[in-house]
Homo-oligomer: A and B are copies of this chain.
Amino acid sequence: MERSKRKEMEFQLRRNEILHQAERIFSAKGFYNTTMAEIADASGFAIGTLYLFFESKEKLYTAMINEKLDLMYSEIRGAVNGVEKTIDKIEMLVRAHFYFVENNVDICNLLIRGEGMTLSMGNTVLRDKIIADYVSHIDFIEGIMHRGIEMKSLKVMESRIMALAILGIIRSFFYDWMLSKKETPLGDKVDPVLDIFLKGVKSEVTG
């Protein structure tokens, strides 16, 4: 028991080390420019050893993306669920997104690149998973908006449209932050994002 437990733990440790190195290299060079030999080298294993943990390069890639996506979505939802009021939830949504992005630059780079969308034509597993996760995330945000409307915190409007808008704004700031070499913390952008999303850009005079 003790014994098999340690084994299991060691197995997970090694697996994580591989995933970690894979994340680093895939992020830097993309799926197709990364070789199994590189990942093996970086993680200190022999090539054959990688295949004890993942049955193919594609499966390794898929596993990594999957686990990161799950982590991202669960962190964000956790943060959002931690507060009550709609406006606070929206703020936490933005903040949690930015927080994850700042701490997972590489993987986010890979995620927005969406390379998983064209792995071997037969394999739509990853593609489907990414889309399903995306849809369910949109649904989750839509739920927040919906309740906000009911509580009259938000104006009456299609909640899906609100969800798409806030997610788009978030992604745009992240993207810009990536390109601008991350000079200022993304966290500084939370207030402007909320301001635009909640109140729009129109001059109040002319409104």
List A residues at the B interface (Cβ < 8 Å). 29-33, 112-115, 117-118, 120-121, 131, 134-135, 138, 145, 148, 152-155, 157-158, 161-162, 164-165, 167-173, 175-176, 179, 189, 192-193, 195-207
Q: Can you report 11 residue pairs joining A to B where beta carbons are below 8 Å apart? A: A29-B121, A31-B32, A114-B114, A115-B115, A115-B118, A131-B179, A134-B179, A153-B206, A154-B201, A158-B192, A198-B200
The answer to whether A196 and B138 touch across the interface, beta carbons within 8 angstroms, is: no
Known contacts A197-B201, A201-B197, A204-B155; is-contact A33 B171 (Cβ 8 Å): no
Q: Tell me the bound Cα distance from A158 to B171 in angstroms.
A: 18
Partner of A198, one of B29, B162, B168, B201: B201
Q: Tell me the bound Cα distance from A170 to B168 in angstroms.
A: 7
The answer to whether B192 and A161 touch across the interface, beta carbons within 8 angstroms, is: yes
The answer to whether A155 and B203 touch across the interface, beta carbons within 8 angstroms, is: yes
| A interface secondary structure, majority | helix
**A202 to chain B: closest residue by CB:** B198
The answer to whether B118 and A201 touch across the interface, beta carbons within 8 angstroms, is: no
**A180 to chain B: closest residue by CB:** B135
A198 contacts across to B, CB distance below 8 A: 200-202
The answer to whether B179 and A172 touch across the interface, beta carbons within 8 angstroms, is: no
Q: Tell me the bound Cα distance from A118 to B157 in angstroms.
A: 40
The answer to whether B169 and A164 touch across the interface, beta carbons within 8 angstroms, is: yes
A203 contacts across to B, CB distance below 8 A: 152-155
Known contacts A165-B201, A172-B167; is-contact A195 B157 (Cβ 8 Å): yes
